[in-house]
Amino acid sequence: MNRLLISLVAGLAASVAQAGDSFRFASIDGGMIDLADWRGKPVLVVNTASLCGYAGQFDGLQTLHERFGDRALILAVPSNDFEQELEDEAAVKEYCALTFDLTLPMTEITHVKGAEAHPFYAWLKEETGFVPRWNFNKALIGPDGEVVATFGAPVAPESAAIAGRIEALLE
């Protein structure tokens, strides 16, 4: 009987373990963005802020979105954790559409650090120790749901470090 109980508990623990492709975000357009829908493909998750000095990277993120299409997910996660985001989702969506002509998927304004961090970011911290230290930090999740790499704000989305890595994951 004890072996059966131990086996059941071990099985439950294994099923509870998460990978980076098992999280959901509230979409800025309504509904949910489910990373499980992208299982088997690379996912680049970027915490963004409209008023940040790195906001020009939206252009690079859009370029990646257009380049990789449905072969990879490029996901912008607006956050006000560094006090550089607009007041609400409608303002963020309008600003990004008008200023950068963004069509890539975006989440609602989301916490990326601290006690209120989205479960994806809590998992990222637990798995790698990585916590965004500023806006436009990036996490690349591989097709297997594991963290491939993390990048700070200065690393441009279209750089070989990021775009090249996504391309390699697609081969």
pLDDT tens track for 30-66: 999 999 999 999 999 999 999 999 999 999 999 999 9
Q: Containing H/E element for 148?
A: strand 147-151
CB 123, CB 18: distance < 8 Å: yes
Q: What is the pLDDT of residue 19?
A: 77
104: its two tokens: 């890539």
Name the DSSP class of 107.
Answer: B
Q: What is the pLDDT of residue 4?
A: 40
Q: What is the pLDDT of residue 15?
A: 35
CB 153, CB 137: distance < 8 Å: yes
Place of tokens 């859009």: 62
139: its two tokens: 């996490």
Q: What is the pLDDT of residue 20?
A: 76
Give every residue of the chain whose pLDDT is below 50, as ranges: 1-17
Q: Residue 52 catalytic?
A: yes
CA distance 56 to 40: 29
Q: Which residues contact 26 (CB under 8 A, 6 or more apart)?
A: 32, 33, 107, 108, 110
pTM for this one? 0.89
Q: What is the pLDDT of residue 50?
A: 97
CA distance 144 to 156: 24
Domains delineated in the chain: 19-170 (3.40.30.10)
Q: Which of 52, 92, 148, 163 is the catalytic position? A: 52
Closest CA to 26 of 106, 138, 104, 141: 106
